[in-house]
Amino acid sequence: MTTALRVEGLTKRFAGMIANDDVNFDLLPGEIHCLFGENGAGKSTLSSCIFGFYRPDRGQIFVSGEPVHVGSPIDAIRHGIGMVHQHFVLVPEFTVLENIIVGTQRSGIGLKAADARKKLSRICESYGIVVDLDAYVWQLPVGRQQWVEILKALYLDARILILDEPTAVLTPGESRILFNIIGEMCARGLSIILITHKLAEVMQSNRVTVLRKGRVVATLKTSETSPDELVRLMVGRDVSFSVAKPALAPGEEVLAVEGLTARGHWGETVLNNISFSVARHEILGIAGVAGNGQKELFEVLCGVRKPDAGAIRLRGEDVAGLTPRALMDRGVGHIPDDRFREGLVPEFSIAENLVLGWQRSPKYRTGLMMDRRAIADLARDMIAQYQIAARDETVAAGKLSGGNAQKVIIAREFLHASGLILANQPTRGLDVGVIEYVQRQLLKKRGEGFAIVLASEELSDLFSLADRIAVMFKGEIMGIVDPRTTTIAEVGVLMAGGREGGRS
């Protein structure tokens, strides 16, 4: 069978490091082929080379058996290749329709607006995709923004579609819809390259290529491999998926929230009468489908959103309405869910990002000057501990792979917090080896006496880490349950808005 796409001997270097090393890869018509590998293994780089975003140093790309030159994304699109990036590249102030046709018209590959609208409506209908073409992108939740990217590729008649961690920003329900549509695309002869860290998704594909430090270590049929084997190939060791949580009696109360209420841009209630408390040595899990108030809850707790009513007490002190700075000074660490927009300054180095917000601390100063050497030493230590894949501590955070950027934020917050950690989706986008490490770190902090609020869409994370789980639905807490006496199914009922049967 002729391959839809073939890559031969592709090598891509960035200053001082090799991101793709002599990669061979092929994609069959109608196939879903996963790229699997640790954070920084070179998956996004390989995709970006295929899509003409990066120019490889060596190697040849073939489309339908013919050698092609892909010098830019426009070339890629002409050859029927589409890509949805790990970090979206939409213009928030434009509508969905404008985002799709802008750029394509100028380069002579798109249609007039009216024709574009017709074509897009037809595509949406045939795949059952629901998106308002006239909505502004800034109004859309991230999951919906992804549909825009996928629509754009279909609109440009992609026959080969590269999806870089598409489900990292989707709820489980949205992920299922995406997989149905991917299946439909394959049935129509499209070929898909899917990048994901989730083993369950890898196992739904036809074949998987495992990358390690830029090299291909294996290409396997998923029907002939297992999650355990894939993880071993990826990290070169066994990863235990269950971390042992020692029994610990909660200590004194650290954070208490009472009757917290907050409204959104249009006056709608986003948090409704939320109450809970977290004590030393305790992890309070927050379960819920994304978009049910978790983000707003964390924003209020870390001081970037003002509550409209209710009390927040930190070790007895009323802190509602304090600035993020004041809360940081009181020992609150915050890992936001949108790491690139809120957590990092892309132009700053890893070292600078690791002390971001703490540059004035005496720890990092000698007299009036920043103590560059102390900061560099610290950064090298963090790079080693968290296995951050980077040449050294001077690399700009914007050049890190998605997972490695996340590690910088986690390292900084774990380093500076003293007492309370607010973690919103901390393991999103991390490879399974690093997830295990972060889970151990959370438990270590719990052991040291921290109080931790941990939101995760992965119920398995919450069941293995949390001492209690609060379930959010439409801005309310539906119930707070004990994971030792509650099943995942019962939590699922609360997540869908059912009430708790009187347990606490």
Ligand X SMILES: Nc1ncnc2c1ncn2[C@@H]1O[C@H](COP(=O)(O)OP(=O)(O)OP(=O)(O)O)[C@@H](O)[C@H]1O
Residue ranges in contact with ligand X by CB under 6 A:
14, 17, 19, 37, 39-45, 86, 389-390, 399-404
40 close to 403: Cβ distance less than 8 angstroms: yes
How many degrees, rounded to 5, is the angle at CA 205 between CA 200 and CA 206?
A: 140
Identify which of residues 40 and 333 has a Cβ nearer to ligand X in the complex. 40
Binding segment toward Mg ion, per CB under 5 A, in 59-67, 79-87, 207-215, 474-482:
79-87
CA angle centred on 49, ends 47 and 51, rounded to 5°: 70
Pairwise CA distance, residues 375 & 359, whole Å = 9
The least CB distance from residue 164 to ligand X, in Å, is 7
Using a 10 angstrom Cβ sphere, with 0-12 exposed, 13-18 middle and 19 or more buried, the burial of residue 106 is: exposed
Instruction: State the nearest-atom distance from the C-beta of 338 to Mg ion, in Å.
Output: 16
CA distance 52 to 74: 8
288 binds, options Mg ion, ligand X, none, Cβ within 5 to 8 A by partner type = none
Cβ proximity to ligand X, 99 vs 196, nearer residue: 196
Provide, rounded to whole angstroms, the least separation between the CB of residue 501 and ligand X.
41
Q: Position of tokens 């309405």?
A: 321
- Of 44 and 95, which has the nearer Cβ to Mg ion? 44
Which pairs from 14-21 meet CB under 8 Å and 24+ separation?
14/399, 15/391, 16/391, 17/391, 18/214, 19/45, 19/214, 20/45, 20/46, 20/49, 20/56, 20/214, 21/213, 21/214, 21/215
CB 265 within 8 A of CB 448: no
Residue 238 CB, shortest distance to ligand X, in Å, is 20
Binding range to Mg ion, per CB under 5 A, among 36-44, 76-84, 231-239, 431-439: 36-44
Report the partner that residue 349 touches, choosing among Mg ion, ligand X, none (CB closer than 5 to 8 A by kind): none
Nearest to 245 by CA among 30, 470, 468, 417: 468
Kindly state the smallest distance separating residue 375's Cβ from ligand X, in Å. Answer: 20
Element (H, E) at 262: strand 253-263
Find which of Mg ion, ligand X, none residue 45 binds, CB within 5 to 8 Å per kind. ligand X
In the complex with Mg ion, the residue whose CB is nearer, 44 or 294, is: 44
Decide whether 48 or 99 has the Cβ nearer to ligand X: 48
Nearer to ligand X, 262 or 411 (CB): 411
CB of 373 to ligand X, least distance (A): 24
Contact residue for Mg ion among 56, 402, 426, 483 (CB under 5 A): 402
Please report how close the Cβ of residue 504 comes to ligand X at its closest, in angstroms. 39
The partner in contact with residue 167, picked from Mg ion, ligand X, none with C-beta cut-offs of 5 to 8 angstroms by kind, is none
Between 322 and 383, whose beta carbon lies closer to ligand X?
383
Q: Which helix (H) or strand (E) holds 256?
A: strand 253-263
Burial label, 470 (beta-carbon count in 10 A; 0-12, 13-18, 19+): buried
How many angstroms separate the CA atoms of 475 and 294, rounded? 8
**Nearest distance, CB of residue 405 and Mg ion, angstroms:** 10
In the list Mg ion, ligand X, none, the entry touching 14 (Cβ below 5 to 8 angstroms by class) is ligand X
Candidates 10, 20, 44, 50: give the one binding Mg ion (CB under 5 A).
Answer: 44
The Cα–Cα gap between 15 and 431 comes to 24
Residues in the chain: 504
19 binds, among ligand X, Mg ion, none (CB under 5 to 8 A by kind): ligand X
* Nearest distance in Å: CB 350, ligand X: 10
DSSP code per residue over 316-369: TEE-TT--HHHHHHTTEEEE-S-IIIII--TTSBHHHHHTTT-TTSGGGEETTE
Question: Quick one: 191 or 401, whose CB is closer to ligand X?
Answer: 401
For Mg ion, give the closer residue by CB, 191 or 401. Answer: 401
Question: What string of DSSP letters covers 107-173?
Answer: TT-S--HHHHHHHHHHHHHHHT----TTSBGGGS-HHHHHHHHHHHHHHTT-SEEEEESGGGGS-HH
> Between residue 362 and residue 401, which ones bind Mg ion under the rule CB under 5 A?
401
Work out what residue 399 binds among Mg ion, ligand X, none; the CB cut-off runs from 5 to 8 Å by kind: ligand X
Are residues 95 and 136 in contact, defined by beta-carbon separation less than 8 angstroms? yes
456 contact, one of Mg ion, ligand X, none, CB 5-8 Å limit per kind: none
**Residue closer to Mg ion, measured from CB, 195 or 472:** 195
Q: How far is the CB of 110 from ligand X (least distance, A)?
A: 28
| Residue 210 beta carbon to ligand X: minimum distance, rounded to whole angstroms | 11
271 vs 395 by CB, closer to ligand X: 395
* Phi and psi angles of residue 52, each rounded to the nearest 5 degrees, phi first: 80, 15
Could you give the CA distance from residue 146 to residue 141 in angstroms, rounded to a whole number?
9
Name the site residues for Mg ion (rule: CB under 5 A).
44, 86, 401-402
